[in-house]
Each structure stands twice: as C-alpha cells, then as structure tokens.
C-alpha cells in the first residue's frame, strides 16, 4: 500500500527537510486529499501541534472526511485520539507520548508508555493505533525529532508491537533528503515485529524514499511506504508507486479485482488486472482490466458506454488482490443486470441510508463508503468539483495561471458599464438578450435565432451537456460521450453532474488530437479548439470531418472555441454551423474580449440546438445574464478592430516568449491560444511550478497523469513575461 503524506503547518501543506527546513508550501489541502484518496490512505499530520506551536484542528477536521485518512501530530491523550476518530480518521498516529512516562524515557523497563497505549487500544481499537518509531542512527527521537530518548529502535519496536496495529518507521536522517531510506534497518525492524506473539502488526516506512526501485524493495520486505517529498517534487507518481507496491510475484502477474459501487457499497463484478491495466486505470480514470480470453487490455465500457469511473483503488493486506471503488454509469453485467451478483440497482443503498447514522452495516456499505456529508444527496456528495486557478490574497503575484487577458477592455465598454449602472437595475434584464444576440449574429454571419447567450461559456457548456447528452440508464444504446483525455477539466465534472456516460480519448504522444479516433459510434462529443491546456489547434478540415461523421450518425458535436481568437485566421468552425444542424460552437468574452470579470459566453448553432439550450436555461434560471453584463458585452462585440489589435499583440508576445524559452532548457508546444504549455528538461512540473511561485509568479500545474511535468503559462503583458523569462531561465 502507498500512503500519501499531507503535513500541515500554519494552515498550509508543507514539506520540511529533516523536520526543520521548509522546502515547499501549498494551499490546496482539500484538493490534494481528494486526489490522493484514489491511490491509498492519506497521512494527515498537524506539525504545529506536534511541535507545541498551536494547531490546525479546524482544517484537519475538514480534510479527514475527504478520504481514508490516518491522522497524527500532537496526540497526547486518549481523548485527543478519540476526537480524531470522531472527525473521520481511520487510524491515529502517536509518537512522543508512547515513549514518555512521567517525563522520562524507558522508565518502566520496556521503553514504552504501556498504560497510555493499552488505554488507547481499548478506546479506539488496537487496529487503529499507529505508533511512530522515528529513529536517528538507530535511536528513537521524539518531539518533532528534536529530543533523543536513548531508546534503541529494534528493542523498542519489539516492545510496542503487541500494543499497536501498525508501526510507522521514519529514518529521520533521510527525511526530506530523497537520498534513499535505510532498507537494512527496515528489514531488521520487520523481522523484530514478525517475532511477536501477534504477527498482524503492519509496518510502514517513511523518510528518504525517492525511486520506484526503492518502493519495490520496501514492498518486497513486506512493508508499506509513505511518500512525502518525492511525491510533491514529482520524483514519484502515486499511480506508479501503487502499481509497484503490489505483490505481483505471488499472484503470477495477474491480480484479481473486486469492483464495488461507491454509492451503495454493492459488489458489481470481478476481473483481473496486470501492471498495464492498473496503470491505465489511473491514467483514464475508468477501470481497465486484462482479458484472459483475448489476452489484451480492455477498459470496461469502451464500446458499451457502461463505464466504471474510478473513485479509489485499494490493495488487500497481502497486496495480491484489489478493490476498485467506482461509480457505474449503467448496468455492468452482460445479461443487462445492474450487477453480476444482483439485479436491483440501489437496493442496498436504500436499506443502508434508511438506518440511523453510524448503524450502516459493513455488509451494506463497505469500509470505503461514507454517508453523504450533512444533508447532501448521494450524487452531490460524490462529486469532484472543478478546481479553478489559484487566487491568492497573501501577497502580490504576477498572475499567469487563469488565462485572463492582461489588457483592459476599450473605453466604450467601460462607459457602457457606467451607463448600465443606473436606476434600471431594479428591473430584471432581458432574458433573451435580444440586442446582444442580434449584434453577435451580425458579427458572425448568422441569424439571432442561431445565438444563445449565457453566464460565461462554462454555463453554456453545462447547459449543452444537459440538453444534448443522455444521462444514466436513458443513455442511448449505452454509448459514451467522447472528449480528449487531456483537455478542459470541466468536461468530466459536467459528465458526473448530469450522470452522462463518457469516455476520454487519448491524445497522440505529440499531444495532437487524432480525428480518426472520433469516427466511431458515440453518444456525442466535445473538444476545445485550440485545445486546453496544450494550446494545440486541430485543422479545420479535420474538424469538419468529425462534424460530418457526427451528422451521419445523428449525434451532436460541440466545438469549444474559447481561445480561437488567438489562433490562425480561418480556423474557426463557425462557418460550418449553417451546413451542419448538429454542430454547436461555444465562445467566450472572458479571454480575447478582456471580460472575465463579467461572465458572458455564447453559442452558435442550428435553431433546434439553440431552442434546446433555452429549454434547459429556462428550467434553471431565466435571467442568467444581468443588465450590466449585457451592456458591456454588446459594446465589446462592436469593438472588432480594438480586440483584433489586442490579439495580435498577445500573439507577438507569445511567439517571443516561446523563442526565448526553447534554448533555455524548456520544451514548448506550438500554441494557438493565449497561453503556452511547457516542460523543463531537468525539473519536474512541481519543482518548476514552486520555483516560479517562490519568485512571485503564478502559473498552472495540473498534477494529473501524462501532464504532471508540464506547466500552463498565460501570456501576460510584455513586462510580466520579461519577469517570467528572467526566473524561467535560471
């Protein structure tokens, strides 16, 4: 098993070298917990409490329900431990108090606080007790590794083992150094634990582990691994670490997988996975297996649309079987039944959720299932929301992380806003955006009936998913909606929100979209052009080929052109709208029109498509675009020459920056957007991101498979980009 470490100090996620020197710092603790939960347990450590410098209790209480967490740091009493369990911790880590008796170490001859550990086991259960045996040069150290105890590691661990469900061994001299852990000490420790009368004590090692080979060695020694610095600096990915922690030798290279529905705990089916299938499960976000009949990799639902979206993957105690907790888009059995073991969807869920909180039997829910938080329904509680770019308030940064335009709108737009901010604000806005739709129609050569306006293109896209893509069991023929695997990360969020079966289509190795991958049966498709976050554009002839195929099979094609104004002329699919009644082109005024703060987006398409969007809108909110936004957007649409000039200026800056980066250790994808997608040849994405952030520059880093080493950098003003280049070159 792999345990991801979240160390919290001063309300932020940190990594310290040997427990002292701050190496990196992040603000996204909740997003990290949700992501890490896919791969294994999470160790949430309150460093301030451990060092007696206050605590982060409020934040930790928020984080613990987000995954399968073990918590520690400053646990000095049995009540402290019980409180963490009540907050949602699966296990509790104790350190200093386990070895100190009346202020002394080894006072009882065993080197342990037996009374404390016994009381702790009675209160929360021995299996939930993790004792941290932190050692420096073979000696137990406590109090944030500042105090030497004089207690020998091996003998002390042997005494502790009968009172703990697990030992956490940290080689302190290696902590944060990424120089390797003490494998020999680990083996000796494992042998000492095995000699105890109760052989069930587990062992996890932390400190210094930095390579996949070391993870493999730790696993072969019979221990789990906890990752910190190597994870945050990109040296090791959790998906790869998870795969290598499994006991492939014991299972002959093919590991059984039990698949369980996250929402009701029901077992749906079983299958087998090899290393490739485990890796692809994390990459695609849907369960992949190995067909023993055909001897090939296959993704459940690739053809039928009956996908199994991964929530988390877990290994059993021997690491030779897997439990995949998923959200099924439809029935999984080839007979048409919901489950290979039962026919009724939701039966167990209804029984389980009718019981009082805390009375949900393990046979109904499984260890991984948790009741919805507060009064949320199950779907809302299971959503993984879109995470917008960081908007810090702690200092002034150069913001190159949210693709905003660095230049202001023209004076006519500002004046339109002032004029609209009048006594008429007491009245509702025009729900049909009649004047604005007319101006957009005139600019793009269509009729007003071919235009839909919404509160930003994100809302337009959300309405499009609801209007054109079938959900759940109603999904036509069980086929999925298609979109690229590396693309706008709101698409899978919309799919989950509307319960739309979907399938991600891998981009080529050069990050381009292959049109032929979409020329197959599907329930609809969507992709950005230019793509985000890669910035690469698909030729118009290829777009037309895809749209033509969709028209032939009677399905909708949505082209998201948020960044089209920064691409080569003639690339837009707008002029295809009249020829193809199945084509919807979505645009925004946030990027090229410098109106991100007002939230106006629009779609161009056949009247029937626009009517469909209106039906969804009017079932949700009939007045999504306010008076001020409509006035500003109307003025902006009429300022073609001004915005064309801004786009040319940004493109010139983009090309200058790309040319400057290439000779200085960066790989730069050819961009057609107002951002660039770059990778350093020696630094990981996390290292490069942190280096820029420490120098006052924010960029976007997506800690996701395939693109974890890349950064998306918005093109700012020339002065901002000069500063970016100054830091990026060092």
- Does an H or E element contain 183, and which? helix 183-194
- Helix axis angle for 607-618 and 456-468, nearest 10°, is 100
20/36 Cα distance (integer angstroms): 24
Nearest Cα to Cα of residue 1 among 190, 212, 247, 167: 247
The three state secondary structure string of 516-554 is HHHCCCCCCEEEECCCCCCCCCCCHHHHHHHHHHHHHHC
Nearest Cα to Cα of residue 587 among 579, 684, 577: 577
76/117 Cα distance (integer angstroms): 11
Catalytic residue among 46, 48, 134, 182: 134
Neighbouring residues of 250: CB distance < 8 A, sequence distance ≥ 6: 318, 319, 320
Backbone φ, ψ for residue 332 (5° rounding): -105, -20
566/675 Cα distance (integer angstroms): 9
Neighbouring residues of 682: CB distance < 8 A, sequence distance ≥ 6: 665
43/590 Cα distance (integer angstroms): 40
The secondary structure of the chain in percent helix, strand, coil, rounded to multiples of 5, reads 35, 20, 40
Instruction: Classify each residue of 331-369 as buried b or exposed e, where b means 16 or more C-beta atoms within 10 Å of its C-beta.
Output: bbeeeeebbbeeeebeebbeebbeeeeeebeeebbbebb
505/565 Cα distance (integer angstroms): 26
Cis bond upstream, residue 469 (ω within 30): no
Catalytic residue at 134? yes
Cβ(616)–Cβ(463) below 8 Å? yes
364/562 Cα distance (integer angstroms): 45
The SS3 of residue 82 is helix
Nearest Cα to Cα of residue 698 among 435, 472, 393: 393
Cβ(429)–Cβ(627) below 8 Å? yes
Q: β-strand 255-261 against 322-328: which pairing, if any?
A: parallel
Catalytic residue at 565? no
DSSP assignment of 22-40 equals: EEEEES-HHHHHHHHTTTS
The SS3 of residue 666 is strand
Residues with a known catalytic role: 7, 134
């Amino acid at each position: 098993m792999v345990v991801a470490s979240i160390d919290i100090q001063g309300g932020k996620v940190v990594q310290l070298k040997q427990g002292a020197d701050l190496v990196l710092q992040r603000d996204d603790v909740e997003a990290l917990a949700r992501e890490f939960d896919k791969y294994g347990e999470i160790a949430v450590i309150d460093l301030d409490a451990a060092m007696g410098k206050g605590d982060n209790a409020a934040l930790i209480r928020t984080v613990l329900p987000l995954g399968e967490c073990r918590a520690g740091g400053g646990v000095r009493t049995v009540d402290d431990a019980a409180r963490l369990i009540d907050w949602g911790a699966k296990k509790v880590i104790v350190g200093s108090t386990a070895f100190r008796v009346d202020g002394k170490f080894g006072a009882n001859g065993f080197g342990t606080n037996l009374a404390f550990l016994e009381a702790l086991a009675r209160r929360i259960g021995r299996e939930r007790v993790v004792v941290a045996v932190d050692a420096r040069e073979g000696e137990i150290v406590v109090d944030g590794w500042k105090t030497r105890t004089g207690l020998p590691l091996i003998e002390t661990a042997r005494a502790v083992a009968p009172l703990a469900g697990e030992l956490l061994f940290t080689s302190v001299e290696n902590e944060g150094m990424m120089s390797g852990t003490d494998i020999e000490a680990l083996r000796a420790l494992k042998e000492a634990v095995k000699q105890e009368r109760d052989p069930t004590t587990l062992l996890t090692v932390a400190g210094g582990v930095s390579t996949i080979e070391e993870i493999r060695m730790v696993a072969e020694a019979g221990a789990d691994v906890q990752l910190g610095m190597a994870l945050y600096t990109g040296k090791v990915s959790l998906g790869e670490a998870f795969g290598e922690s499994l006991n492939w030798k014991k299972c002959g290279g093919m590991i059984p997988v039990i698949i369980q529905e996250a929402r009701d705990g029901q077992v749906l089916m079983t299958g087998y996975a090899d290393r490739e299938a485990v890796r692809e499960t994390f990459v695609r976000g849907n369960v992949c297996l190995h067909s023993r009949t055909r001897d090939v990799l296959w993704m459940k639902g690739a053809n039928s649309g009956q996908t199994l979206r991964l929530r988390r993957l877990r290994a059993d105690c021997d690491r030779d079987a897997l439990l995949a907790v998923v959200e099924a888009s439809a029935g999984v059995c080839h007979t048409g039944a919901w489950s290979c073991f039962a026919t009724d969807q939701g039966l167990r869920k209804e029984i389980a959720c009718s019981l009082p909180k805390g009375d949900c039997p393990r046979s109904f829910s499984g260890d991984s299932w948790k009741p919805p938080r507060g009064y949320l329904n199950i779907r809302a509680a299971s959503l993984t929301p879109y995470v917008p770019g960081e908007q810090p308030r702690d200092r002034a940064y150069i913001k190159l992380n949210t693709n905003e335009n660095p230049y202001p709108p023209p004076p006519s737009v500002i004046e339109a806003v002032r004029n609209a901010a009048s006594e008429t604000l007491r009245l509702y806005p025009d729900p049909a955006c009649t004047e604005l739709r007319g101006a957009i129609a005139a600019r793009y050569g269509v009729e007003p009936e071919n235009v839909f306006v919404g509160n930003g293109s994100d809302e337009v896209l959300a309405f499009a998913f609801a209007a054109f893509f079938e959900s759940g069991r109603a999904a036509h023929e069980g086929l999925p909606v298609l979109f690229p695997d590396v693309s706008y990360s709101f698409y899978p969020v919309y799919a989950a929100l509307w319960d739309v079966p979907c399938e991600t289509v891998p981009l080529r190795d050069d990050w381009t979209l292959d049109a032929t991958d979409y020329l197959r049966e599907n329930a609809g498709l969507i992709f950005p052009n230019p793509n985000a976050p890669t910035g690469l554009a698909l030729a118009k002839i290829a777009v037309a080929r895809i749209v033509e195929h969709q028209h032939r099979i009677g399905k909708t094609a949505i082209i998201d052109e948020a960044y089209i104004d920064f691409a080569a002329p003639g690339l837009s699919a707008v002029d295809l709208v009249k020829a193809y009644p199945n084509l919807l082109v979505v645009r925004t005024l946030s990027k090229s029109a410098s109106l991100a703060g007002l939230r106006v987006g629009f779609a161009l398409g056949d009247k029937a498509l626009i009517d469909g969007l209106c039906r969804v809108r009017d079932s949700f909110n009939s007045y999504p675009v306010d008076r001020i936004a409509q006035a500003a957007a109307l003025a902006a649409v009429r300022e073609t020459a001004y915005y064309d000039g801004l786009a040319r200026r940004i493109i010139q800056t983009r090309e200058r920056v790309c040319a400057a980066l290439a000779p200085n250790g960066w790989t730069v994808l050819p961009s057609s957007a107002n951002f660039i997608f770059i990778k350093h040849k020696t630094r990981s994405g996390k290292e490069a991101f942190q280096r820029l952030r420490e120098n006052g520059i924010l960029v976007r880093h997506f800690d996701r498979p395939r693109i974890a080493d890349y950064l998306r950098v918005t093109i700012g003003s020339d002065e901002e980009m000069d500063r970016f280049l100054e830091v990026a070159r060092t």
